[in-house]
Structure formats: C-alpha cells, structure tokens
Amino acid sequence: MSVVSVLSQADIFDELTNTQLELIGSICAERHYQANDVIFEENTPGDEMYIIATGEVQIQVDPSLIGREGSTSSGAHTIATLRRGQSFGEVALVDEGLRSASAHCSMQDTHLVVIPRDKLMLLCDTYPQLGYKLMRNLAADLAMKIRHTDLKVREQLTWANEKK
C-alpha cells in the first residue's frame, strides 16, 4: 500500500487533492513495529504524528507519572485503541509540548506512516490552501478526541459516585 493511499484513508486528510496528498507523502517516512513495541512515551518531547497503515496501536496514560503523594493508581491505562486510517500524535503538530500519553504497538507487523512537524509546517506555509484544509481537519479530529475523552471522564465520575 502506498503512502498516498494510506493518507487518503485518514480523516485528517479529508478533502485534500491527490496533488496535496502527494506533497505530504513526499515528506513522510514509514516505520514498522511489532507487538509490545513502544512508539513513544508519555511526557517525552514529540515532533511527529502518525497514521496507521496496518495494525493496531494502544494509547495509554499512566496516572502515577503525575507524582501525587498518596496516589492509589499505578500503571498505564489504555484510553484508546486505534486501527488502520487513524492518526495519533497530532498534538505535537500544534504545540511542540510533551506527549500527553504513550503509544504502544499492540499487534504484530504494525505499519505506520510518520509525518515530521517541521516539514509539514513548511508545506503548510508554502501551500496555504493545503495548510488551511489540514488545520481545519486537525481541529475537528482533536475536538472529536476531546469529546470522546470527556465522555469517558463523565462515565468514570458517574460510576465512582454510584459506588459510594
């Protein structure tokens, strides 16, 4: 499967032309992972995003990394399982901050398309129409993920209150 065909399946590249997808494809790298491989760790710097071509990736958070005294929570918790065509690591494109979660490969022969921030931002600056479409899609994708996370938090709070 070509990089451009992988990109065309990802919602974050919705409504981009073939030429725009080829421009993005020209800056991408491909990486292969096996089950249990770490793609990136929570609280580490990030400067690239990923599109899943094949396989499966788990996004995990570890409450113990917050470092609060008396914290009863230990170990990582999977907050999302992502598959073909889904993206992750997008926040690194926006703020260049630390990763808010870890990404671990959960399936053998997982193939990822990797998009470096610096090269993508250069493309967006050079081709404003591409940049506009991509940033609009990125905002929509992040909004959907925030809403999903908000729903999970609400479910946890409701469940915790019902146990009392």
pLDDT per residue of the chain (164 residues) written in tens, 0 to 9: 799 999 999 989 999 999 999 999 999 999 999 999 999 999 999 999 999 999 999 999 988 876 554 455 567 889 889 999 999 999 888 888 899 899 999 999 999 999 999 999 999 999 999 999 999 999 999 999 889 888 888 888 887 777 76
Q: What is the pTM of this model?
A: 0.86
> pLDDT value at position 46?
93
pLDDT at residue 109, rounded to an integer: 95
DSSP secondary structure of 10-62:
SGGGTT--HHHHHHHHTT-EEEEE-TT-EEE-TTSB--EEEEEEES-EEEEE-
- Which CATH number goes with the domain that contains 12? 2.60.120.10
Per the structure block, which two tokens stand in for 61?
């958070």
The total of structural domains in the chain comes to 1
Expressed as residue numbers, the domain containing 105 is 3-163
